[in-house]
Structure 1
Amino acid sequence: MICTTMFRTMFRLVARITMLSWVPLLTRLVALASSTGSHGCKCISTDDCWPDASAFAKLASEVSQPLVQPFPTASACYPVSDPSGNCTEVQTLWGDGNWRSNQAGSMQESNYETFTFDNGTISACYRDTALGVPCEQGSVPVIGVDARTLEDVQAGVKFARVHNLRLVVKNTGHDFLGRSAGRGSFVIWTHHMKNITVHDTFTPFGGRKNEKYSQAITLGAGVQWHEAYDAANGANRTLVGGLSAGGSVGAAGGWLLGGGHSALSPTYGLGVDNVLEISIVVASGEHIKANSHKNTDLFWALRGGGGGTYGIVTSVTYRTHPLQQVIAGFLTTSIKSSTPGTPPILVKLISEFFRMSPNLSDAGWGGYGLMAPSAPGESLAMQFVAIAPNSSWSAANDSFLPLIANVASLAANSSIDDGGLLNITFASTFPVESFHAWLTQFIDSGTAETGGNVMIGSRLLPKALLDVNSTRAAETWLGLPGITFHLVAGGAVSKTDPDATGLNPAWRKGVLHAAFGSGWPEGTSSADIEQIANGIKQNLTLIENLSPNAGAYLNEASLFETDFQQTFFGNHYHKLKAIKKRYDPTDLFIVPKGVGSEDWDEQLHCRRRK
């Protein structure tokens, strides 16, 4: 329904502009009113408003590839008596992140392919066919555009806008918030936009002629980190980028838009600190470039405002850094314990690691730590692997060897009679040819990291906490399941103006990005999954009480944050939302726990009533 005030305003405009006919004007107004959908809802595949075959046929004639009809990852194994595809491939490559990214309907974590109805019924497609559950679409989008060109993206955006569709944007499906999926949705799949250009010199659009960046690199929306690293290494350059088995994470999408952490971040900053220009299709269908000269408000928002929120990124240009030797550091431990619960020696070990982390990041060390099961009969062990780029061996040892020495002292004074025996199983530092070589030799060690069902939570651990209360922090985090500690802040990250980008300012005070998580097997009931979710919620309360308003990395965080606006975006939230309204006034782009999502119901189907 168009309001009376709106009619009056528009009729006054008609009276003043005699060349504009009132008939087409009213037609535009009706179209505008209907664009918000019936009762403020987006259109999904089960609604009567869903486009008919002729509409999709017209869209198909406008894009370079046939429309894609995604299916859940395990669909090739159904029906069991007559598989519709290569079920052997599904079973063999289930945990391969790169294989999953090549499937239009695959999410990297299987639970984001499922959908739970209000009555507790789960719509899913399980790999284990013996469960006897039919394969259903779940939250996997039903149809969309396999985008290969800018024009493909624009055609898809226009179609979704005209038909008021629930739209999702997907590249690889690496997402712990489920932003790459949506029940009954229309998808624009950017995975095959693989163009890579290495520039001898690069001047941002609208920049001064003397503003030149040497050896910048432009990555298409579908480029993954293993492809980006290879290209940069071939040009004798280093890129600040993400880490995953096989390098399957996308390099020019959600990783960057959420901040983008890296083992190189303490030396060179986060992804948002290294981007020079972003090309994006916004809700109007216009293709624009955002940088420090053009569309500066959008450029600010895109650097930390979250993926799938402001439009569809088609390419990103990053600055690069010289290819040079790095120093690698390794520390692994194991603990034998004779007491139940968390061994006191483990608390001391993690407390010491926490306490020394700010010094390590200030010295340029960046890396990853986790608690992993030891040998049978032993407790958890800590493993920490890190690098110091742009550092001499002697300088790196001056900062890393004290950690090894302090842990060795703890081990020498530990006793099984006092609750636990700490052993250092491996500790070393040594030069490695380059960051790329480090990834290839020591990190990129497999593919079995995806395909599970998992919920996580996380926090940025600020320097103030680690300096003053590392023991309490260790005790709190050791009470959580599946914990990891990423040394990806501090150093150069802390030296950047907190308001220079739309990123949560909490990043500039953090040192460690810490996460925890829980998983479950296929076929678990919705009631049991809800219990797991309740455990996540309780643990979120614990870590928030430990360091209030410390913030979290929104790309690796929980859907159950009670104040996601503050936790993910800090005091930048209201500005981010104002910029979103400027470029996406009808919320064509809306994602779970993204900017503006509080205005929509949990499924992002209908607007909440105010």
Structure 2
Amino acid sequence: MLPSGLPMLALGTIITAVAVSVALAAPESAATGRLRCRCLPTQPCWPNSDTWAALGQDVGGRLIPTKPAAYECHNPNYDSAKCDAIKAGYHYDYWRQQQPGAVQQTNWEVFQGKGCLDFNQTDVCHQGAVPLYTVNATNFEDVQKTVRFAAKHNVRLVVKNTGHDYLGRSIGAYSLNLWVFYMKKIEFNDNFVPEGAPAGTESKGAVILGSGAIWRDVFKAADDHNVFVLGGADPTVGTSGGFCQGGGHHALSTKVGLCVDNVLQYKIVTADGELKVANAYQNKDLFWALRGGGGGTFGVVVEATYKTHPAFKNIVYATSYILYNITDPTVTRQKVINKFLSYQHEWSNNGWSGYAFIQQNSMAAVYYLPDQDVATATKQYQPFLDYANSVGAKAFGNLTSYSSFYDLFSATALTTGTRNAGVQVVLGSRLIPRSTFAAQTKVNKLSEAFMNIQDDLYDFGNPEGTILTHLVAGGQVAKGTTAETSVLPAWRRALMHVVLVASWLTETPPAEQQLVQRKLTQSTDRLRKLTPGSGAYVNEADPNEPDWKGAFFGANYKRLKSIKDQVDPHGLFACHNCVGSDDWNKDLLCPRRR
């Protein structure tokens, strides 16, 4: 008989829970005496059905027994019509963010090798890491009630908006999911003054966002208001969660800073269930921590207020595609990559920023140049394409001028959905300092590392050997200070954010999946060794980063941990490689033995 209050799960999940509960029964160490093992559905402490029903009533009937996204594609719950709808949406980010039991990368939906990722009707559908219940929060009070419930009953709590998270921080086995996706407030205030500011404080233009707003909607609203708001390049990413709390970059960060540099105020529900205002005038330590210390760590941000900026009146958008010489691709690739990296310092100084997709046989790039005309942009960008043609590659380029950011965004990024979700993906990344690009000898070493990394990637999980480069630092990003925000200090010295990608198929055996991840970490070491003292952008990083505290938070970690202990002394908010997560075991279900 199933424990009271537990949704119907596959038998294997129950057996796993029993095994885990035995493991969690071990005594706690003195070092973690303030932390307790989470209550599991097989234990007497788990809330019974009446208790769950009371929570549901308390949040207006918006408590959802949560199932994996492909649940209705498997026996004994197979439903042909529902399964067809699931298949149609499964790999689209817009669809996945509207499912309480889904995140964007499905490898995070697996727990201890079990999940529900395919459409094979006869395969057992395991709950995996999908939360058992979800509260569809639509207001501050829903969030407060859910946080208090989880704390009172010692139930693991996870916080999710759209499920964009390469570290798996918005999902967790045997958990209660606080889903903020429908908190969609977007409100402009041209004379915003932070709460608690002294009389006479200068007002600023601002946008006030609910925690469920996504950048697609905010960019449109900002354009209607004739202002610019710094946000994410992906239109489906949430505005107020991990994106900004981890730093938050965009190609136009070089003009207005990282997202953390644009925060004026947060409203946050902390682990005690209280609603707090954090800004430069009250709860100042918490405000500092929320601007770089990572999402899902210090509480649930329910409202964020960001600066608005004058709208851009002209942005040149350069697209290019380079096909290496087919008869001698390796030599051509090496020359083109080296020259491309050599141009980054000059382009940055001239105001350029953007992204490139460097592959074994080709390179594609999209770059921005605000407040300049096409003639100026062509003069600065065309020499690179001419060089590529001169060494035997075929280079194609196009430069277009847009009269506003939203016009550019609408033409290049705004879609009804992107079919790149619902797959198993892990990343590796590194911030490359500006000093690397200022000396040709260092550029040569970086170019050589790129070549070797592509060979590595070709051998496991990325046959095209794709390296993603982001020229998104420098400029205004370099002007921020640790006194103002807690974002990784290496951002202020960086010029480029480099990302490596590895993936595998659903049917790939677990041992091979682990091998791919180990090799990705080893391949990323090529960049770590070239950039001692730098780090990695926490939102797009290796989940197996060897020195994650140093790589993600740098010298700020000690202060961040102190603030974490003050606002969340019992560790209600615990997530993978987040501040304080080293107090917990790998599954984040029990304190780590010291």
- The normalised TM-score by structure 2 is 0.89
What does 1:45-444 correspond to in 2, within 5 Å?
Answer: 45-79=41-75, 82-83=78-79, 86-116=82-112, 122-129=113-120, 132-244=122-234, 247-323=235-311, 324-339=313-328, 343-372=330-359, 379-389=360-370, 391-393=371-373, 398=376, 401-412=379-390, 414=391, 421-425=392-396, 427-444=397-414
Aligned-partner Cα distance in 2 for 1:213–1:474: 47
Aligned-partner Cα distance in 1 for 2:75–2:33: 37
Encode CA deviations 1:196-238: one digit per residue, 9 max, x unaligned. 1111311111113433444311010000111111111111111
* CA shift for structure 1 position 460: 0.6
Q: Is the 8 A contact 1:46 1:184 kept in 2?
A: no
Higher mean C-alpha deviation, range 357-366 or range 537-546 = 357-366
Aligned-partner Cα distance in 2 for 1:441–1:461: 30
Higher mean C-alpha deviation, range 66-75 or range 401-410 = 401-410
Amino acid at match of 2:163: G
| Structure 1 match to 2:10 | none
1:577 aligns with one of 561, 582, 587 = 561
Amino acid at match of 2:127: Q
Encode CA deviations 1:569-598: one digit per residue, 9 max, x unaligned. 010000110111111111111110000111
Encode CA deviations 1:276-318: one digit per residue, 9 max, x unaligned. 1111000111101111111111111000000000000001011
Q: Is the 8 A contact 1:64 1:148 kept in 2?
A: no
* CA shift for structure 1 position 409: 2.2
Aligned-partner Cα distance in 1 for 2:196–2:344: 41
| Structure 1 match to 2:37 | 41
Amino acid at match of 1:525: P
Q: Is the 8 A contact 2:35 2:571 kept in 1?
A: no
Q: Is the 8 A contact 1:277 1:317 kept in 2?
A: yes
Q: Is the 8 A contact 2:62 2:137 kept in 1?
A: no
Q: What secondary structure, in the 3-state scheme, does the structure 1 residue paired with 2:438 have?
A: helix
Higher mean C-alpha deviation, range 435-444 or range 188-197 = 435-444
| Structure 1 match to 2:450 | 477
Aligned-partner Cα distance in 2 for 1:562–1:85: 45
Task: Output the aligned Cα RMSD.
Answer: 2.0
Amino acid at match of 1:464: S
Q: What secondary structure, in the 3-state scheme, does the structure 2 residue paired with 1:370 have?
A: strand
Encode CA deviations 1:102-155: one digit per residue, 9 max, x unaligned. 100111011111112xxxxx211123316x421111101111311111000000
Identity across matched positions, percent: 36
Amino acid at match of 1:253: G
* CA shift for structure 1 position 466: 2.0
| Structure 2 match to 1:5 | none
Q: 1:521 and 2:508 equivalent? A: no
* CA shift for structure 1 position 459: 0.5
* CA shift for structure 1 position 39: 8.3
Q: What secondary structure, in the 3-state scheme, does the structure 1 residue paired with 2:500 have?
A: strand
Q: Is the 8 A contact 1:358 1:490 kept in 2?
A: no
1:562 aligns with one of 546, 550, 565 = 546
Amino acid at match of 1:189: W
* CA shift for structure 1 position 92: 1.4
Q: Is the 8 A contact 1:265 1:492 kept in 2?
A: yes
Aligned-partner Cα distance in 1 for 2:356–2:264: 30
* CA shift for structure 1 position 174: 0.3
Q: 1:179 to 1:537 in 2, by over 3 A?
A: same
Q: Is the 8 A contact 1:147 1:153 kept in 2?
A: yes
Amino acid at match of 2:65: Q
Q: Is the 8 A contact 2:70 2:83 kept in 1?
A: yes
If you compute each CA radius of gyration, which structure gives the higher value, 1 or 2?
1
| Structure 2 match to 1:459 | 430
Higher mean C-alpha deviation, range 548-557 or range 398-407 = 398-407
Runs (5+) with no aligned partner, structure 1 = 1-32, 117-121, 373-378, 415-420
Q: Is the 8 A contact 1:45 1:185 kept in 2?
A: no
Aligned-partner Cα distance in 2 for 1:392–1:403: 13
* CA shift for structure 1 position 48: 3.5
Q: Is the 8 A contact 2:241 2:301 kept in 1?
A: yes
Q: 1:429 to 1:386 in 2, by over 3 A?
A: same
Q: 1:104 to 1:336 in 2, by over 3 A?
A: same
Q: Is the 8 A contact 2:71 2:77 kept in 1?
A: no
- The normalised TM-score by structure 1 is 0.86
| Structure 2 match to 1:21 | none
Q: Is the 8 A contact 1:349 1:407 kept in 2?
A: no
* CA shift for structure 1 position 259: 0.3
Q: What secondary structure, in the 3-state scheme, does the structure 1 residue paired with 2:502 have?
A: strand
Q: Is the 8 A contact 1:44 1:183 kept in 2?
A: no
Encode CA deviations 1:414-433: one digit per residue, 9 max, x unaligned. 2xxxxxx31112x2333102
Q: Is the 8 A contact 1:370 1:483 kept in 2?
A: yes
Encode CA deviations 1:486-507: one digit per residue, 9 max, x unaligned. 1111111012224320000000
Q: Is the 8 A contact 2:37 2:589 kept in 1?
A: yes
Aligned-partner Cα distance in 2 for 1:400–1:223: 37
* CA shift for structure 1 position 562: 1.1
Q: 1:348 to 1:400 in 2, by over 3 A?
A: farther
Q: 1:512 and 2:496 equivalent? A: yes
Q: How many residues align?
A: 549
Amino acid at match of 2:293: G
Q: Is the 8 A contact 2:389 2:395 kept in 1?
A: yes
Aligned-partner Cα distance in 1 for 2:347–2:153: 53
Runs (5+) with no aligned partner, structure 2 = 1-28, 458-465
Aligned-partner Cα distance in 1 for 2:77–2:42: 29
Aligned-partner Cα distance in 2 for 1:86–1:63: 27
Q: What secondary structure, in the 3-state scheme, does the structure 1 residue paired with 2:393 have?
A: strand
Aligned-partner Cα distance in 2 for 1:287–1:306: 19
Aligned-partner Cα distance in 2 for 1:503–1:444: 28
* CA shift for structure 1 position 360: 2.3
